[in-house]
Structure 1
Amino acid sequence: MQTLTDLLKDPTIIKIMRTTLWIVIIGILIMFLRKLVKRRIADIAYRYKIQKMIEMVGIFLIVLIILLSFTLDNLKDYTVIIGLFTAGIAFTLQELILSVAGSFYIFALRVYKPGDRIEINGIKGDVIDINSMYTTIMEMGEWVSSDNYSGRIVKISNAFVFKGPIKNYSMDFPFVWDELNIPITYESDVELAKKIILHVAIDHLSDYIENSKETWKEMVKRYYIEDATLDPTIAIKLTDNWIELNLRYITDYKRRRVTKHELFENIEKSILETKGKVSIASSTLQLLKFPLMDVRMKS
């Protein structure tokens, strides 16, 4: 009992107990506020932001309390202690510090937000969660073609926002340019083929074109960027086997695969209605017969 009493009188033990008590109180307060926000705020996006803000403020307070508890009493050695402590923390917890700093950076500068489609560290997908340490992504691609979910959920350290490029498909300009190639035979009516493809593209993409033009005007005002052609365009390429018509168009970043499928389907139907004036080309192989040979056998 005497040893326990002496231990409880130790200033260092008192500091640790007091600091631990404050950490527990802050942790309980964070959980209470998160539950309160969940009950009171109906809007999912706004509720998510408030909950993450509470979490980050709580972590900041905990770190601040730990620093103040072990440095404030010894003001003479304050510089030395802080220097050694900072050096040790920076060396051993550099990834953790970068991750926490990355989360503040992501929220403060709107690098991306939940619901955005991004590509970071070679991984592409939709952001489904951002916390103080990790960004959680519903992965796309890998063994699955085009913009389809693979089914895997990937957690990426927030520190990666300082280490490489972040490709955001939906921030400021939620449209992407895409292309499809239609091969036609050399015997086809090229001008008719161009008219068919452009008509289908404009008819199918009219809503995207109008919306993208309004958004692009805002982009030109905000960034140092040249004006771009948003209407569908066609470029012709001559190959050894066929004439290739390259259609370039703009579409919603979430409907790239569906748009390409619908364009191909409608273009094929329109070409079939020309009754041979335009024909889709394919690779062909021509077999040449060998010349007749007269073979005589001598006995």
Structure 2
Amino acid sequence: MHLFLPLVNWSKWHRHAERFKKAILCAMTLTLCVVGGVCALALAQNPAPAQDTARSPLDAARIIPFLDQTLTWYRQMTVDQQIANDPSEVTLMSENRRIAEQIVRLSFDFARAEADALAGSHGSSQVQSQNGGTPQQQSLLKAEDAADEEVKKAESELNSLKQKLATATGRQRQIVQSQIVGAQGELDLEKTRRDAIHSMVEFVAGAGGGQAGGLRGQIDALAASVPTIGAAGSASGNQTSATKSDTSTQVTASEPTGIWGLGAELFEISRKLSTINGAITQTQTLEKASSDLRAPLADRLRALTRQADELDTQSPDKNAPTLAQQRQQVDALTGEFKQLAAIAIPLGKQDILFGLYQKSLENWRSEVGVDLKGSLGRLLAQLAILALFIGIVLALAEVGKRTIYRYVHEPHRRYQFLLLRKIALAFAIILIVALGFASRLESAVTYAGLLTAGIAVALQNVIVAMVGYFFLIGRYGIRVGDRVQIGGVTGEVVDIGLVRIQVMELGGSAADTPTGRVVAFSNSVVFQPTAGIFRQIPGTDFVWHEVSLTLAPDSDFKAVRERLLRAVKAVLADYHEEMDRQNRAMERNLFAVPEGGLKPSAYLRLTPSGLEALIRFPVDLRHAGEIDERITRELLKAVDQEPKLKLAGSATAISLRTAAGAG
């Protein structure tokens, strides 16, 4: 890059014009090849379209947006780093961060190079003129162009006078020399004027960037927002190593085994895959922006190469002015090529790094895709196993249901077994689902224990009532239609629920007369020691009634007993078959049946008021009122029969009541 023509002495050029021209062209061609090799990728990926090469490829308006887009892409690395949890992913992210820092650094190298080119070349005026500006800026740009034209005219006039001097003789030579001195002074004046205008243009271009101190100031301000970019290479490397060391300390969690854990893992992997796809999309977008910036530079570099080839193919010219003009063209081409190459090289390097970065992300996406398929497969396998176990439980429940219908014929017992089957089925399904969704069995057991304790405390009464339900429907439990006495309330059971029992209250003048009220009791009453439950023996519907009357103390015991029993038996004879049926039902359901069965009995005892006769007899509850009425009439007749029984007191006193302990 040091073989440039400004280092060649003009006198040596004049003496060996043809040889130096060839040397200059060869040196420039070599320079183009060296710099062009670095930009080979940029030149290969952007085919040269037929366009106007006169337009400058420099554009100040595209620098800051490109840097903003680059920094936005770079900050996305923080999000990408958060989803890396495996050691291989942490290592990959560390390498990607190193590549990303190089890409950002090259973006700032490109921006600074183009800003320097815009600030230091005359092409910046053209670019700024194309991009517009204030009226003062436009006036300065026009004045600068006019000053350049005046300098060119003065230089052309001076060169013409120098050519005349070479052929002038005598007095004509003196005149030409004096004209040359005047033309030289005019040229110096025009150059001074041009330099002053150019200085003002540079000042306006630098101040036009606003508070950031111009375009270069904005670039430096953006670079300062990324500390790792402004730091030295070693510091950046140390920070990268530190980041890698910090992130590598992350502990990878064990793989979940439950459906809930697998579902959460599947969702997390899907989110990770979406983040990686977003990073790839952003990388491709930034790569396209870099390629769009590189395309006009590559086109201009090709155009410069073609112009150099054209100069190389021109025939040598020994004319000094022509050689000088050719030298200026070569200098201009070399300077512009160096300037554009300094801008294009960072973009060409970026293209290589973008390929590496995108390839790394694609490999990561492939690995995450494999993890996603594996997690999905494990989740489907768990769901299949869960469905299989539930299916087995449902099949066993169906077998149990058919077995109950086949071997249990008694309706009440069948209902009990079917209810137990439903409860067992629900419990088994809940247990299987809980174990299937639990990621860790020990955690599930601990959680289930705490949950069970909380439920037991909060629903203590409900749980006791539910347990009491099974006692109520047991072998010696109660059924709908049974006559029961609970807590002093006598009635008929109308409903037995899981937590409470409904009883239709009976009472009034007759034992089987409804009062119009339904009383609800909690099933937990079976565990209360003070509130007993009295019910009929299964298959029976009777109650013991008692009739008492007080006779004179001198009454004949035997005669009284026989007469009263005969009167009661005469009434009960009409209900003998029903009482026998209930007696047989009682014998079937009880291990020990009292001797005598359902027959009336009479007891006599002396009291201070006289001889008390107590007759105890069974009553069918469906005909209790009728039986009591008939027995009362028969007893009165028996008392009035001759010989009449002597009653204690002046009036006949007959008392009828339900026997103690009867419902």
Category of TM-score, reference length = shorter chain = 0.5 to 0.7
* Distance apart, 1:134 and its partner CA: 1.6
Out of 91, 94, 112, the residue aligned to residue 460 of structure 2 is 94
| Aligned AA (2:436) | L
Out of 555, 560, 566, the residue aligned to residue 199 of structure 1 is 566
Q: State whether residues 169 and 253 of structure 1, in contact with CA within 8 Å, keep that contact through their aligned partners in structure 2.
A: no
Distance in 1 of aligned mates of 2:419 and 2:556 = 65
Q: Is residue 131 of structure 1 aligned with residue 497 of structure 2?
A: yes
Question: Structure 2: any 5+ residue segments left out of the alignment?
Answer: 1-262, 265-410, 652-663
* Distance apart, 1:193 and its partner CA: 3.5
* Distance apart, 1:117 and its partner CA: 0.5
Question: Structure 1: any 5+ residue segments left out of the alignment?
Answer: 1-9, 12-45, 285-299
Paired position in structure 1 for 2:135: none
Paired position in structure 1 for 2:596: 229
Q: Is residue 267 of structure 1 aligned with residue 635 of structure 2?
A: yes
Q: State whether residues 551 and 611 of structure 2, in contact with CA within 8 Å, keep that contact through their aligned partners in structure 1.
A: yes
Distance in 2 of aligned mates of 1:168 and 1:179 = 19
Distance in 2 of aligned mates of 1:65 and 1:221 = 40
Change (3 A) 1:283 1:134: farther
| Aligned AA (2:437) | D
Where 1:90 maps in the other structure, the secondary structure is helix
Where 1:77 maps in the other structure, the secondary structure is helix
Where 2:521 maps in the other structure, the secondary structure is strand
Distance in 2 of aligned mates of 1:136 and 1:209 = 33
Distance in 1 of aligned mates of 2:460 and 2:487 = 19
* Distance apart, 1:201 and its partner CA: 1.0
Q: Is residue 179 of structure 1 aligned with residue 513 of structure 2?
A: no
State TM-score, norm by structure 2: 0.31
State TM-score, norm by structure 1: 0.63
- Aligned pairs for 1:10-49 within 5 A: none
Q: State whether residues 118 and 124 of structure 1, in contact with CA within 8 Å, keep that contact through their aligned partners in structure 2.
A: yes
Q: CA-to-partner distance for each residue in 1:207-257, whole Å, 9 max, x for gaps?
A: 545544554456456544254223322211222333221112222244445
Distance in 1 of aligned mates of 2:588 and 2:520 = 35
Paired position in structure 2 for 1:245: 613
| Aligned AA (1:236) | L
Paired position in structure 1 for 2:469: 103
Distance in 2 of aligned mates of 1:283 and 1:92 = 66
| Aligned AA (1:204) | V
| Aligned AA (2:604) | I
* Distance apart, 1:109 and its partner CA: 3.1
Change (3 A) 1:220 1:282: same
* Distance apart, 1:96 and its partner CA: 1.5
User: Equivalent pairs: percent with the same residue?
Assistant: 26
Q: Is residue 167 of structure 1 aligned with residue 519 of structure 2?
A: no
Q: CA-to-partner distance for each residue in 1:28-73, whole Å, 9 max, x for gaps?
A: xxxxxxxxxxxxxxxxxx79x97x9988877776666666555531
Where 1:112 maps in the other structure, the secondary structure is coil
**Structure number with bigger Rg:** 2
Change (3 A) 1:85 1:145: farther
Q: Aligned residues, how many?
A: 237
CA RMSD of aligned residues (A): 3.7
* Distance apart, 1:136 and its partner CA: 0.4
Q: State whether residues 121 and 160 of structure 1, in contact with CA within 8 Å, keep that contact through their aligned partners in structure 2.
A: no
Q: State whether residues 480 and 494 of structure 2, in contact with CA within 8 Å, keep that contact through their aligned partners in structure 1.
A: yes
Q: State whether residues 538 and 585 of structure 2, in contact with CA within 8 Å, keep that contact through their aligned partners in structure 1.
A: no
Q: State whether residues 546 and 614 of structure 2, in contact with CA within 8 Å, keep that contact through their aligned partners in structure 1.
A: yes
Out of 432, 437, 446, the residue aligned to residue 73 of structure 1 is 437
Where 1:282 maps in the other structure, the secondary structure is coil
Change (3 A) 1:54 1:149: same
Change (3 A) 1:268 1:157: same
Out of 639, 642, 649, the residue aligned to residue 282 of structure 1 is 649
Where 1:72 maps in the other structure, the secondary structure is helix
| Aligned AA (2:562) | K
Change (3 A) 1:191 1:174: same
Paired position in structure 2 for 1:118: 484
Distance in 1 of aligned mates of 2:425 and 2:524 = 21
Q: CA-to-partner distance for each residue in 1:134-163, whole Å, 9 max, x for gaps?
A: 21001235xx46634332211111222343
Change (3 A) 1:280 1:254: farther
Q: State whether residues 553 and 606 of structure 2, in contact with CA within 8 Å, keep that contact through their aligned partners in structure 1.
A: no
Distance in 1 of aligned mates of 2:506 and 2:456 = 34
Higher-helix-fraction structure: 2
